[in-house]
């Protein structure tokens, strides 16, 4: 019987999970995926079995999870009922921040857990919840290896000019850097391209467009520059995040409007983006269907920001051999892809509108110097693959310094 891997992605009020079988292939096989959302509010359990159906139910009464530990117990209970023969060999965690030092996945022990806890100040909205997930899994599976996979790791190869801000060096030294995020998605896409079109990895721009959105310039399969920086707020317009903003606006809000740090954080993270600009929704499908002028404006801003960043990132890679659209919007929205790529012939991109409408995997015309792919990302598969490798190398965790 094969071993099994659980992947966990713990958020403020949710735990997403997946179960993989390790059959010895290059990629582990996903056999179930699901989540508990609304911990502490109105919790719901949802899961999908690869070879079966979906299940969804509200968690009420004695079942109501009050903490990540409670939620994890429910997940483990469901997994052991549904897959009684599964033997859990390791647990892989999505960890948002590996700080300036971790550029590869690693085994988590007491010492590294403390180091990761020290990065909470860098990502206060995510890191403490990721750590709560690790602690809960440690209690539920004592002695089973736990592997941390960092969303920042892929970007640690970016050169200093794309890693820093124009501040005095002491700020860089204390950790005020352009970390970049969505690294597990970029790593998954580059790994898949390595299998099917390795030439595309020479000069590549990946557009991860989802509720969170970023773009990454990649040269010879290594991250060179990201639209996200110190935090996941920078760069593109997102579901509820503002993206690029002049720091002068923040000074104005603080000095002239007496807004607190908490109020500004709420504005920039939760009340801006597609939702804040349109006043309609954070969901691209709603905006595409809406007749409201504000929805049209938000879409135009979203697309315009992507086009500007595309030019900027192609300047980093010196032109591109390929682009990849991924994420919920990137892999599904024919509308966004069409508007991002129209009139980009100056950059060597010849768009094939019919292929886009047909939802083909390649949406550039045959003669296009830049090949444009549409691909589904799979961060859980990336975590599971890392976890298998790192857990087998328990005596030599892949600790790397940038
Ligand atoms: P993600 O965060 O990658 O899961 O992406 C979630 C977002 O993808 C949703 O909020 C939607 O805006 C978007 N999305 C999903 N399906 C579609 C679709 N068929 N057309 C346009 N946008 C979509």
pLDDT in tens, 192-215: 999 999 999 999 999 999 999 999
- Whether 151 sits among the annotated catalytic residues: the reply is yes
Q: How far apart are CA 92 and CA 17, in angstroms?
A: 10
User: Span 4-150: which CATH code?
Assistant: 3.30.420.40
Nearest CA to ligand 1 atom 15: 328
pLDDT of residue 256: 98
188: tokens are: 């998954």
CATH class of 197-379: alpha beta
CA of 192 from ligand 1 middle (Å) equals 21
74 torsion bin: left (phi>0), alpha (psi -120 to 50), beta (else): alpha
Contact 374, 361 (CB under 8 A): yes
pLDDT for 1 beyond 90: no
CA of 238 from ligand 1 middle (Å) equals 11
pLDDT of residue 26: 84
pLDDT of residue 398: 39
The closest alpha carbon to 393, from 91, 49, 106, belongs to: 106
The predicted-structure confidence for 89-140, as pLDDT tens digits, reads as follows 999 999 999 999 999 999 999 999 999 999 999 999 899 999 999 999 999 8
pLDDT of residue 12: 83
pLDDT of residue 402: 29
Distance between alpha carbon 270 and the CA centroid of its chain, in Å? 17
According to the annotation, is 26 in a ligand binding site? no
Q: What is the DSSP letter of 97?
A: -
According to the annotation, is 210 in a ligand binding site? yes
371: tokens are: 């090949």
Nearest CA to ligand 1 atom 21: 333
According to the annotation, is 94 in a ligand binding site? yes
Catalytically annotated residue among 70, 151, 163, 378: 151
Find tokens 């993206």 and name the residue: 243
pLDDT of residue 396: 39
Lowest average pLDDT, out of 22-36, 163-177, 386-400, goes to 386-400
Contact 357, 374 (CB under 8 A): no
The closest alpha carbon to 389, from 20, 84, 46, 133, belongs to: 20
Query: What mean pLDDT do residues 290-315 have?
Result: 98
pLDDT of residue 212: 95
pLDDT of residue 395: 41
Lowest average pLDDT, out of 18-32, 112-126, 223-237, 382-396, goes to 382-396
Query: What mean pLDDT do residues 244-263 have?
Result: 98
Share of the chain above pLDDT 70, in %: 97
According to the annotation, is 378 in a ligand binding site? no
Phi, psi of 394 (to 5 degrees): -55, -35
Sheet holding 371-374, edge to edge: 222-226, 213-219, 203-209, 322-326, 371-374
Residue to mutate, 210, 232, 302, 303, ligand 1, most ligand atoms under 8 Å from C-beta: 210
249 — pLDDT class (breaks 50, 70, 90)? very high
| Ligand 1 neighbours by CB, cut-off 6 Å | 210-211, 239, 283-285, 327-329, 332-333
The closest alpha carbon to 228, from 240, 332, 241, 220, belongs to: 241
Task: Give the start-to-end residue ranges of the domains of the chain.
Answer: 4-150, 197-379
pLDDT for 47 beyond 90: yes
24 — pLDDT class (breaks 50, 70, 90)? confident
pLDDT of residue 324: 98
Phi, psi of 21 (to 5 degrees): -100, 140
Nearest CA to ligand 1 atom 8: 328
| Ligand 1, atom nearest to 274 Cα | 12
CA of 209 from ligand 1 middle (Å) equals 8
| Run of H or E including 106 | strand 106-107
Query: What mean pLDDT do residues 188-194 have?
Result: 98
Q: Which residues contact 388 (CB under 8 A, 6 or more apart)?
A: 5, 22, 28, 90
Q: How far apart are CA 114 and CA 284, in angstroms?
A: 39
CA of 332 from ligand 1 middle (Å) equals 7
Beta bridge partners of 45: 36, 57
Q: How far apart are CA 212 and CA 237, in angstroms?
A: 9
């Amino acid at each position: 019987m094969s071993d099994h891997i659980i992947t966990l992605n713990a958020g403020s009020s949710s735990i997403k999970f997946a179960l993989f079988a390790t059959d010895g292939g290059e990629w582990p096989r996903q056999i179930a995926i699901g989540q508990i959302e609304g911990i502490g509010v109105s919790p719901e359990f949802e899961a999908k079995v690869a070879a079966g159906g979906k299940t969804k139910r509200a968690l009420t009464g004695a079942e109501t999870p009050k903490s990540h530990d409670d939620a994890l117990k429910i997940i483990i209970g469901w997994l052991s009922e549904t897959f009684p023969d599964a033997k859990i060999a390791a647990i892989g965690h999505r960890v948002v921040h590996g700080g300036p030092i971790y550029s590869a996945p690693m085994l988590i022990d007491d010492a590294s857990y403390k180091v990761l806890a020290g990065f909470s100040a860098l990502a206060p909205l995510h890191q403490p919840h990721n750590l709560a997930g690790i602690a809960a899994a440690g209690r539920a599976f004592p002695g089973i290896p736990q592997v941390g996979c960092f969303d920042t790791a892929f970007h640690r190869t970016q050169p200093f000019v794309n890693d820093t801000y124009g501040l005095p060096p002491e700020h860089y030294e204390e950790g005020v850097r352009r970390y970049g995020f969505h690294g597990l998605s970029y790593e998954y896409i580059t790994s898949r391209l390595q299998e099917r079109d390795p030439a595309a990895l020479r000069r590549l721009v990946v557009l991860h467009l989802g509720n969170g959105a970023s773009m990454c310039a990649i040269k010879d399969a290594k991250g060179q520059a990201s639209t996200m920086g110190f935090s996941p707020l920078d760069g593109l317009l997102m579901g509820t995040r503002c993206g690029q903003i002049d720091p002068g606006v923040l000074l104005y809000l603080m000095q002239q409007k007496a807004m607190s740090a908490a109020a500004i954080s709420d504005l920039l993270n939760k009340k801006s983006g597609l939702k804040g600009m349109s006043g309609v929704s954070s969901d691209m499908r709603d905006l595409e269907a809406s007749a409201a002028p504000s929805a049209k404006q938000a879409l135009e801003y979203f697309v315009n920001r992507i086009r500007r960043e595309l030019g900027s990132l192609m300047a980093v890679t010196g032109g591109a051999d390929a682009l990849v659209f991924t994420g919920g919007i990137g892999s599904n929205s024919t509308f966004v892809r069409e508007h991002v790529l129209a009139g980009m012939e100056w950059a060597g991109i010849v768009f094939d509108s019919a292929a886009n409408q047909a939802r083909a995997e390649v949406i550039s015309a045959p003669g296009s110097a830049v090949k444009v792919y549409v691909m589904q990302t799979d961060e859980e598969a990336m975590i599971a693959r890392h976890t298998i490798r790192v857990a087998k190398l328990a005596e030599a965790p892949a600790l790397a310094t940038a």
